[in-house]
């Protein structure tokens, strides 16, 4: 049977090693580099300590399991140890702390060098007991000693031994089972250990197991509490008499569940328990700061929205100062794209009205002086147009340095820094005092701003011209003007060909042509006014959108890029932590051990 079990044990050992290696790799990745968010940094420090404990577990995979007694002063821990091995090996007493130095009981055939235990800490006793062939029993100091935890104290010694323990025999009595000090110490000691619960002094005390189980149930999985009398069990073994009560079942439980074949299973459960509890604690650290982190993100978003709104308003006002220039460009773009139609001809006349008037003036000039005056006026108009174009470009250049007020920057910095501190971020990611980094962030895209603004305005004009020339509304203008022209031209033609005097009918009177011309001009002016007004409103809308987009471009990464990056990193680390915890929970699912051994409630739920 041993030969058949050997490959299975080796497979279990390899499986545990693989799981441990994967967890260690992911835990190391989480622990480095140091985070700027304090809850994660605190969790990283705990994980680094955990990795030291995991290394200890990995080094002891094939070593015998260490079963340690745990309980208050005078609860009979040493007496229970003596009864389990069938000999008096550890001094016992019911009224005072008897175990002042931990006693390690081992079989003479056990090679202690493989255990990795700090052997110099123990009083080692070799006992030829069948109970000790596949495990070690450690009689620990009492956790409810009155001395403080100082260097070399019993309590400090107990805490240093707990990482080496695989199973805790939690021993108590009628007087001690509700001890607050022992309960607190157990909560710390039970992490990474299996638990077996024993009530001793069965010959003297009442059976309190039902109430004790209710007391333990919220935190621990308690399959069974054994009621034993250790002294009676020891005397029965010494006399060769049959054992009575729960003691035989307790001893068989330890022999069966803690055999060599179950070492990998026990240590797998302990490893998952330890890692899972640590990750839960790390998640608690960050969960406490999540509301403040959410508030910080909301404030950053609000500050960015405020800055974008203020900057976009200033950009819009500056851009609209050159609205006439943009309108002329837009109208020129429209008439260039529009094919030759009656209304497009009217738009061309309107767009070239200044040039046409100047040309007409040139034809009417009757002397050199008049020609010179008209030429000078035309030159002034040309210079004025160039000046407006230059002014528009200058405004764009001025926009490239359009930043935020000093007082606004200071206010923003103070508000965001306060939220960052409340959320638990290091001061380096949002320092107070020097505004220069903030100014640099506020103007970091100024080098590209002018080209971007000019290109975006030209693009907006082209898009708007394309929409207006292809819009169905274009044909509405053509129809409205075309109907009038059809009437003004068609009615005289009808009168000429149909109502000719030779046929006995009069022609259209001559004043009809004057009225038709005037009305055509007025109607064309109305249509042009409506069309240009729509162009103007569309241009204002485009400029407003452009101003907001440019403001968003300038503040695209925010005024606090380091803080925003640290915030994203904090969120990513929280997700990584949750993924690690989920992986551990999945590994717990198959059942770490049989239901005979107890553990923390998290293990019970798995």
Q: What is the pLDDT of residues 323-380, one digit of tens each?
A: 666 677 777 777 777 777 887 788 777 777 655 444 444 445 455 554 455 455 555 5
How many whole angstroms separate alpha carbon 410 and alpha carbon 434? 9
Residues facing 124 on adjacent strands: 104
Contact call for residues 524 and 346 (beta carbons, < 8 A) = yes
Contact call for residues 507 and 500 (beta carbons, < 8 A) = yes
Residue 400 pLDDT: 44
Size (the chain), residues: 606
Q: Please state whether beta strands 225-227 and 194-199 pair in parallel, antiparallel, or not at all (unpaired).
A: parallel
Phi, psi of 198 (to 5 degrees): -135, 130
- Residue 4: pLDDT band by 50, 70, 90 thresholds? very low
- Residue 381: pLDDT band by 50, 70, 90 thresholds? low
Exposure of 568 in the CB half-sphere (CA atoms within 13 A) = 6
Question: Residue 558: is its pLDDT beyond 90?
Answer: no
Whether omega for the bond prior to residue 21 falls within 30 degrees of 0, making it cis, is no
Looking at per-residue confidence, does 54 or 359 come out higher? Answer: 54
Question: Residue 474: is its pLDDT beyond 90?
Answer: no
The DSSP-derived string for 151-175 is TT-HHHHHHHHGGG-SEEEEEE-TT
Residue 226 pLDDT: 94
Looking at per-residue confidence, does 172 or 556 come out higher? Answer: 172
| One-letter-per-residue 3-state SS of 354-400 | HHHHHHHHHHHCCCHHHHHHHHHHHHHHHHHHHHHHHHHHHHHHHHC
**Predicted TM-score (pTM) of this structure:** 0.62
How many whole angstroms separate alpha carbon 599 and alpha carbon 425? 36
Contact call for residues 430 and 563 (beta carbons, < 8 A) = yes
Encoding tokens for residue 592?
């770490």
Residue 19 pLDDT: 73
Question: Residue 244: is its pLDDT beyond 50?
Answer: yes
How many whole angstroms separate alpha carbon 128 and alpha carbon 85? 8
Encoding tokens for residue 241?
């008499």
CA angle 370, 372, 373 (to 5 degrees): 65
Q: Please state whether beta strands 194-199 and 167-172 pair in parallel, antiparallel, or not at all (unpaired).
A: parallel
First to last CA, the chain: 31
Looking at per-residue confidence, does 1 or 248 come out higher? Answer: 248
pLDDT (tens digit, 9 = 90+) per residue, 435-454?
Answer: 556 555 555 544 445 456 66
Question: Residue 427: is its pLDDT beyond 90?
Answer: no
Residue 471 pLDDT: 67
Structural domains of the chain ordered from first start: 66-258 (3.40.50.300), 291-579 (no CATH)
Contact call for residues 68 and 23 (beta carbons, < 8 A) = no
How many whole angstroms separate alpha carbon 451 and alpha carbon 500? 66
Residue with tokens 């920057």: 409
Of 215-229, 347-361, 378-392, 420-434, give the range with the top mean pLDDT.
215-229
**SS3 call for 66:** strand
Residue with tokens 């005397």: 235
How many whole angstroms separate alpha carbon 316 and alpha carbon 550? 10
How many whole angstroms separate alpha carbon 156 and alpha carbon 148? 9
Residue 366 pLDDT: 52
**SS3 call for 507:** coil
How many whole angstroms separate alpha carbon 98 and alpha carbon 92? 6
């Amino acid at each position: 049977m041993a030969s058949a079990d050997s490959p299975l044990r080796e497979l279990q050992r390899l499986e545990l090693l693989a799981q441990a290696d994967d967890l260690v790799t992911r835990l190391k990745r989480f622990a480095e580099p140091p985070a700027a968010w304090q809850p994660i940094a605190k969790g990283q420090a705990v994980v680094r300590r955990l990795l030291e404990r995991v290394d200890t577990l990995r080094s002891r995979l094939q070593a015998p399991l260490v079963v340690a007694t745990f309980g208050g002063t005078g609860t009979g821990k040493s007496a229970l140890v003596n009864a389990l091995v069938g000999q008096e090996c550890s001094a016992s007493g019911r009224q005072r702390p008897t175990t002042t130095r931990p006693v390690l009981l081992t079989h003479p055939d056990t090679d202690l060098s493989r255990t990795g235990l700090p052997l110099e800490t123990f009083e080692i006793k070799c006992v030829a007991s069948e109970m000790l062939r596949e495990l070690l029993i450690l009689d620990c100091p009492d956790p409810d000693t009155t001395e403080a935890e100082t260097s070399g104290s019993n309590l400090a010694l107990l805490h240093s031994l707990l990482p080496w323990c695989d199973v805790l025999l939690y021993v108590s009595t009628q007087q001690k089972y509700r001890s607050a000090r022992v309960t607190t110490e157990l909560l710390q000691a039970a992490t990474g250990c299996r638990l077996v619960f024993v009530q001793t002094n069965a010959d003297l005390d009442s059976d309190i197991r039902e109430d004790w189980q209710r007391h333990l149930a919220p935190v621990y999985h308690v399959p069974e509490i054994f009621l034993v009398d250790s002294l009676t069990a020891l005397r029965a073994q010494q006399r060769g008499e049959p054992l009575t009560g729960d003691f035989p079942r307790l001893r068989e439980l330890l022999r069966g569940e803690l055999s060599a074949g179950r070492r990998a299973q026990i240590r797998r459960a302990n490893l998952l328990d330890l890692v899972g509890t640590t990750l839960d604690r790390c998640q608690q650290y960050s969960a406490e700061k999540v509301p403040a982190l959410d508030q910080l993100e909301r404030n950053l978003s609000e500050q960015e929205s405020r800055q974008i709104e203020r900057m976009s308003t200033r950009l819009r006002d500056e851009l609209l100062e050159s609205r006439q220039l943009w309108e002329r460009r837009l109208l020129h773009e429209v008439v260039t794209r529009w094919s030759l139609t009656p209304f497009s001809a009217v738009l061309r006349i309107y767009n070239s009205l200044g040039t046409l008037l100047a040309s007409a003036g040139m034809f009417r000039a009757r002397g050199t002086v008049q020609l010179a005056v008209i030429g000078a006026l035309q030159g002034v108009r040309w210079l004025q147009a160039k000046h407006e174009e230059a002014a528009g470009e200058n405004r764009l250049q001025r926009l490239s340095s359009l930043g935020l007020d000093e007082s606004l920057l200071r206010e923003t910095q103070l508000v965001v820094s306060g939220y960052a501190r409340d959320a638990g971020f290091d001061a380096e990611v949002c320092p107070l005092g020097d505004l220069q980094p903030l100014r640099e962030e506020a103007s970091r895209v100024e080098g590209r701003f002018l080209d971007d603004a000019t290109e975006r305005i030209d693009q907006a004009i082209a898009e708007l011209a394309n929409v207006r020339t292809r819009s169905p509304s274009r044909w509405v203008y053509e129809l409205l003007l075309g109907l009038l022209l059809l009437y003004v031209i068609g009615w005289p033609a009808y009168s000429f060909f149909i109502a000719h005097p030779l046929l006995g009918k009069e022609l259209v009177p001559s004043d009809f042509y004057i009225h038709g011309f005037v009305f055509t001009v007025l109607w064309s002016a109305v249509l042009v006014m409506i069309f240009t007004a729509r162009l103007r409103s569309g241009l204002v809308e485009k400029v407003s959108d452009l101003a907001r987009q440019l403001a968003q471009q300038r503040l695209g990464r925010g005024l606090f890029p380091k803080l925003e990056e640290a915030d994203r990193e904090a969120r990513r680390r929280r997700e990584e932590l949750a993924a690690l915890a989920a992986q551990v929970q999945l590994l717990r699912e198959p059942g770490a051990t049989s239901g005979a051994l107890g553990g923390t409630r998290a293990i019970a739920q798995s």
